[in-house]
Homo-oligomer: A and B are copies of this chain.
Amino acid sequence: MRASGRDTRGDHGARPAVRPATGVAGGSPADTAAVEREATKRGARTDRRVPTLDEVARLAGVSRSTASRVINGQSYVSARARAAVTEAVTRLGYRPNMLARSLATRRTNSLALVVSEHGSRVLDDPFFARLLRGVYAGLAGTGLQLVLLMDQDGQDHAALGRYLCAGHVDGTLVVSLHGEDPLPGQLRSAGVPTVLVGRPLSTVDLPYVDADNFNGAVAAARHLAAAGRGTLVTIAGPRDMAVGIDRLAGWRCGMAAAGRRTAGVAHGDFTVEGGAAAMTRLLADHPDLDGVFAASDLMALGAMRALRAAGRTVPDDVAVVGFDDSDLAATAVPPLTTVRQPVEELGRTATWRLLGELDAEDQLPPSVLLPTELVARASG
């Protein structure tokens, strides 16, 4: 028994009392036996049979068809039959088996939000929380269940695609695509209605919803150039994501339009640490820099931390502009000048677009771009 040596209790719900400190680390649960256990062997489910529609019908003294009609609230059912079935349902504690229903109707009433990113990383970025809020808002009142899927560590990336294409969900929202991810192509060819959040890099024929990253970055460049800063650098996002590419392109374009050149570019991974590291590199290469545009708020915060550590003040020595306008931007010290993108609306719009797809509405816009705008605060 693997749990030997670990403090265990069976008195569920009992009020805890002072006990000797729990100790004894014991073997890690992720031991070899657990790892080698294959999925195929799994599944000796509780054998307590769950009641089926047939049993309900028999108990109610009607046919399966009539029972089904009652359960799905259809008309053309006599009051007597309806009462009998309702009674039988509660007596038996019947719950319709969704799998069987879905198999027959070809609908699951659930959608997936896929984050093409390792799970643990996702939850650290406030972007996803906001996006999720938007998606939920878009889903309100539809009766659809949203399931979240993320890359798992011990599992190849293709498992996600297999899951989605196997009929588990009616539609898919894909966010945070990297490089040439095969996922959109798979979904496309499997005929799973899909909307991408964020422009894909690969040319896949799927609708997407994105913020206008390009023009947001143009605005940032224009702002810093107009502020009379001399040596401007940028902390760009990953090279393998459209959002990184677009913001860098916009920045370059805005700089060019203002007749300026970019002194230096460093790439970060949208995290605070990445931003700080990039800033440190930029400071080493361009000690005279006095303005920086970071492609995300988190990276801007990291940059500010690195600047502070290097003895520079913000905004006096160096102006900092971020991107996102997350909650952290306004509460930062000093408050962060940033480019606002409507993240909730991104989620809501993508959801709404996907629902349209499911309803086979025509006249749907192929893709949608939502406006971004510069929010000037104290940092630059």
User: Which residues of chain A have a CB within 8 Å of any CB of chain B?
Assistant: 1-3, 6-10, 12-13, 15-19, 21-23, 28-30, 34-46, 48, 50, 93, 95-100, 102-103, 105-110, 112, 119-120, 122-124, 126, 128-130, 132-133, 136-150, 152-155, 159-160, 162-163, 165-168, 170, 189-191, 193, 199-206, 208, 212-215, 218, 246, 249-250, 253, 257, 345, 348-349, 351-353, 355-356, 358-360, 363-372
Contacts and interface: CB of A to CB of B under 8 A. Distances in A.
Contact of A45 (B106, B189, B208, B372): B106
- Most chain B CB neighbours (cut-off 10 Å) among A37, A204, A205: A37
Given A10-B366, A119-B132, 4 more contacts: A29-B352, A34-B138, A43-B106, A139-B155
A44 B360 contact: yes
Interface centre among A22, A36, A159, A348 (most CB of B within 10 A): A22
A165 B358 contact: no
A152 B133 contact: no
A202 B39 CA distance: 32
A22 B364 contact: no
Given A34-B355, A93-B189, A366-B12, A154 B166 contact: no
Contacts of A141: 34-37, 154
A348 B28 contact: yes
24 contacts: A2-B356, A7-B212, A7-B368, A12-B205, A15-B249, A19-B215, A22-B369, A29-B138, A36-B141, A39-B109, A41-B359, A42-B109, A42-B144, A43-B106, A45-B193, A50-B191, A99-B102, A99-B167, A120-B129, A120-B132, A123-B132, A139-B155, A142-B154, A148-B148
